[in-house]
Chains A and B, each alone.
Chain A
Amino acid sequence: MTTNGKPKLAMYWAASCGGCDIATLNIHEKILDVDANFEVVFWPVAMDAKYKDVEAMEDGSILLTLFNGAIRTDENEHLAKLLRRKSKILVAFGSCANEGCMPALANLSPLQEIFDTAFSTVTTDNPHQVRPQTSWTAPEGEIHIPTLYPVVRTLEQVVPVDYFIPGCPPESPQIAAVIDLVVQVLQGKAQLPPAGSVIGAGTSTVCDECKRKRDIKHIKKFERIQYVKLDPALCILEQGILCSGPATRSGCQALCPAAGSPCIGCYGPAEGAIDFGARLMSAVASVIDSNDPKEIDQILDGIPDPAGSFYRFNLAGSLLRASKSAWESKA
């Protein structure tokens, strides 16, 4: 592979939806800065290098790898380890790589159940209950597909990670700001933040970015959004709709609440929060207007799906059963 002397950049997707790559493309003309300052050596979605080209590179020869997607298959894990070895700086990019994102809700179900569901739906014609086989002997020879692991893992649960860019997907202006920063570092005009930092995001909560007015009002009942007309000027949580703003890291400019929709927590745990769900539960507890345990139970019944509501993006990265410890006990 030719080299132009510029620092090398890689971007890879593991188990992801492609939204991180779209958000990166949505920096529009800024992509030219990337081109001017880096040699993009591996970006499967945008250019044409192969695994074996990466394997042939010297260890540590890629300056910066932006890794999006969670670790779902043995192929994902292999690429995470390979890119870790080849990269000086490895960044967990986007919610899947950082905390598992919504696909990690699959960690609540055994793998067998996921297969049984997918291959016995109402439209599936499968009288012999066929399931995909990682290795299958076709009449012409043996063919393979990757193995799905029993749980979805975050990038950091597989390899050491240097920096974390949260978001589902990261907002394009934040991506552009990170690129600016790295370019300045390359030019000696700035320094890298301490290893392990969250970059491309704020240090407070979505509530701090939200323009809606908070009255420290308490609630007696949780509502479902389809049944209420929200006041566009007031705090969504205080109107009885579960909103993840108090537990979620700032950085998105509170886009969803501005559009009349609650924060769903895609920027991950706020600075200092070890477990997103625990932080959100304590925030929710603080708006409940009751001291009577029975009444509190009734109010909480208005949150019909606690696992999905408190760990929508964070299950793989959380302290819950279906995270790293679960993987280690199964491995």
Chain B
Amino acid sequence: MQRITIDPITRLEGHGKIEIFLDPEGNVANTYFQIPELRGFERFCVGRPVEEVPILTNRICGVCPEAHHMAGAKAADAVYHVDPPRTAKMLRELLYSAFYVTDHTTHFYALGGPDFVMGPDAPVADRNILGVIHKVGLEVGGKVIQCRKYGHTVVEMIGGRKVHPCTSIPGGLTKGITEEQRQEIEKMGRWAIEFAQFSLKVFDDIVLSNKAYVDLILGDFYTHHTYYIGTVDANNKVNFYDGLVSVVDPEGVRIGKYGPGEYTDWIAEHVEPWTYLKFPYLKKVGWKGFVDGKDSGVYMATPLSRLNASDGMATPLAQAEYEKFFATLGGKPVHQRLATHWARLIELLYAAERWVELATDPEITSDNFRTIPTEKPTEGVGIVEAPRGTLTHHYWTDERGITTKVNLVVGTTNNYAPISMSVKKAAQSLIKKGTVVTEGLLNMVEMAFRAYDPCFGCATHTLPGQMPLEVTVRDHTGLIVDVLKQNL
């Protein structure tokens, strides 16, 4: 069978690979999105003191170690049945909010944004962060760098280091913050709110006021009807650090909410022999293959999912944007994957507002940031929302607190099935009998998964430029009939 190989997709860590098979007529028969790496954290995190696991699992991803450190710390709290003091929880969430601002900003300006700001079929040389800066102004580049600096400054103040934080331990943190640090954090947070508002305005000016883009977002091309999950607080508002995981069906009906202790009732993982990564699905619905719809357990966990699965945002400015989002896109749930870029900016604003909320809480500088565990360690689950999806760490220990078993369901992994489906749908829509496979087409395939901000093993999204692709077209004997390269 004729095939098209996309390999390597260099801006996925570990080099993602896509195989597209064509039927004899030249239409797409099937696609395989393969993940070529396995590092074995679930094995080698066993036999370790459980307080070390939130530091070990940082090394799953150097882009979002904050997410692993938080999920790990919460799992370790649960192992010891210890509830950290309010200040400890707030400090962790403050660190996490600052991290979210940095992370979402980088995705919008460096990876996802260029497709919209410059246009999906803009000249290749312009469709990157530099093109964005030239279009929206040089000072914006400075702001993006400033935003990354501020975010990492807060991460280091609370987490001890800019990459791979080390201060969360069972029961709280090893350190607090001073009033002087608090003032600096608050100042940076207020700047971040303005920056988030500015970013939404950029999106409004460039994307939403352009009918062609709105049509692209709303079209069927990048649409899938799946379940959505995301963590919500007691008022069903989006929360990144704590709460229950809300699950909504493809019609937007909430079918339930689960806490960390119940995740195994809700989530299961399917295995395929052609990739190292598993495919999570909703256990109560079941694995029916790579298909849409209410009978298929495929779900998504992204910024768009979190908005779909919640009743709103917990901060005022972000709430107003949330309302505008659903009003513009025709109500809940929004199935169009490209809307994820907009949802991500609304979360950016929420994270900045939450940053300031926490930085101005009178208890944030309290020295009551630890509870010493007194109970025997057993088993615990910690869940946070990583930028790219719900992140679950589950540890079992012996009575000394030495891990005996570890299970991890990681952010992007949640989205492996929907990303595979999006790639297939994009390929099927674009590559038909007689189609000339062009460079613009390749970017349209890219856009199918770029919306998810995929981070296999993490790290995809932080850097300037765009994802390079190479497509080799082979006939059924394996002979190369055409090679198309983008951005080489």
Contact = CB atoms under 8 A, between A and B. Distances in A.
B181 interface: no
Nearest to B401: A224
A133 B272 CA distance: 9
A225 B169 contact: yes
B394 A255 contact: no
Contact of A106 (B3, B39, B272): B39
B126 interface: no
Given A48-B466, A226-B373, A227-B373, A123 B407 contact: yes
A21 interface: yes
Interface in A19-51: 19-23, 25-26, 28-29, 44-51
Interface string B445-461: 00000000000011100
A122 B463 contact: no
Nearest to B370: A229
Contact of B276 (A22, A29, A103, A145): A145
Nearest to B374: A227
Interface string A113-152: 1110111011111100011110010111101011010000
Contacts of B440: none
Given A18-B61, A21-B62, A143 B32 contact: yes
A113 B283 CA distance: 26
Interface stretch (B10-18, B253-261, B344-352): B10-18
A50 B488 contact: yes
Contact of A141 (B1, B14, B44, B164): B1
B80 interface: yes
B161 A256 contact: yes
Interface in B132-172: 145, 148-149, 152, 156, 159-164, 166-167, 169-171
B409 A123 contact: yes
Interface centre among A17, A46, A108, A226 (most CB of B within 10 A): A226
A227 B372 contact: yes
A15 B37 contact: yes
Contact of B163 (A125, A169, A224): A169
Interface in B346-362: none
A230 B38 contact: no
Contacts of A118: 38, 40, 42-43, 278
Given A48-B488, A103-B59, A114 B273 contact: no
B174 interface: yes
Nearest to A107: B44
A264 B48 CA distance: 13
Interface string A149-176: 0000000000000000000110010000
A204 interface: no
A133 to B, nearest CB: 5
Given A45-B10, A113-B43, A136-B273, A145 B148 contact: no
B164 A168 contact: yes
Interface in A46-102: 46-53, 72-73, 75, 101-102
Interface in B29-69: 29-30, 32, 34-44, 46-49, 51-52, 55-56, 58-63, 65
A191 interface: no
A303 to B, nearest CB: 9
B464 interface: yes
B249 interface: no
B175 interface: yes
Interface in B72-96: 76, 80
Interface residues of B, number: 101
A143 B167 CA distance: 44
Contacts of B283: 125
Nearest to A258: B160
B211 interface: no
Nearest to A116: B43
Contacts of B167: 259-261
A276 interface: no
A50 B470 contact: yes
Contact of B59 (A13, A17, A114): A17
B80 A226 contact: yes
Nearest to A242: B49
B36 A141 contact: no
A124 B272 contact: no
28 contacts: A15-B14, A15-B39, A17-B13, A17-B62, A19-B61, A21-B462, A22-B459, A28-B149, A29-B145, A45-B10, A45-B13, A45-B459, A49-B488, A50-B468, A50-B485, A50-B488, A108-B44, A119-B278, A131-B273, A132-B272, A140-B1, A141-B19, A143-B19, A229-B372, A259-B161, A261-B169, A305-B47, A308-B47
Interface of A: 1, 13, 15-23, 25-26, 28-29, 44-53, 72-73, 75, 101-103, 105-106, 108-109, 113-115, 117-119, 121-126, 130-133, 136, 138-141, 143, 145-146, 148, 168-169, 172, 224-227, 229-230, 232, 255-256, 258-261, 264, 266, 304-305, 307-309
Interface of B: 1, 3, 8, 10-11, 13-15, 17, 19, 21, 29-30, 32, 34-44, 46-49, 51-52, 55-56, 58-63, 65, 76, 80, 145, 148-149, 152, 156, 159-164, 166-167, 169-171, 173-175, 263-264, 267-276, 278, 280, 283, 287, 370, 372-373, 394, 400-402, 405, 407, 409, 457-459, 462-466, 468, 470, 485-488
